Amino acid sequence: MEALLLGDTAMAEVNLNVRDYSKDPFGRYKTDGEGNGEEYRIDYLVPELKKGNSLIIDLDGINDEYGSSFLVEAFANLIRKEGFKYEEIKCRVKFRSKNTDWLEEIDYYLDEVKKENQGRILLNNG
């Protein structure tokens, strides 16, 4: 863990390996069973982000592929359900993987939430 100083606050850069949470990340909700995206978001990502930490999330080392349900629930829903801003997530959460498809897929889901939010702003101001 590396400390970064911003003003008077020390922020840490926290490395999280999805494989340490589950070798088989699967499903959207806690009701889907072990390794779900909702639990990963709520129990692992949100507490670190609320402390002001930045995250480096290593996606490698799992047994198979990521399903869209896990990726959306864990990462895109940091914006949709937890109230973090798109720009904040893009700045404070970095993803690492040898599989560029996973990285592109996460970016796609984050961009989709950004578009949804922009659409809501236009509707509310229109």
pLDDT at position 117: 86
Kind of pairing, strands 9-17 and 93-96?
Answer: unpaired
Read off the pTM: 0.87
Number of domains in the chain: 1
Q: The tokens of 45 are what?
A: 């990502």
| HSE-CB for 49 with a 13 A CA cutoff | 23
| Domain limits for position 79 | 2-125
* Residue listed under structure tokens 């670190």: 48
**Mean per-residue pLDDT pooled into runs of 10, the chain (126 residues):** 46 95 97 97 98 98 97 98 97 98 98 89 57
Give the sheet arrangement for strand 9-17, strand by strand.
2-6, 9-17, 54-58, 93-96
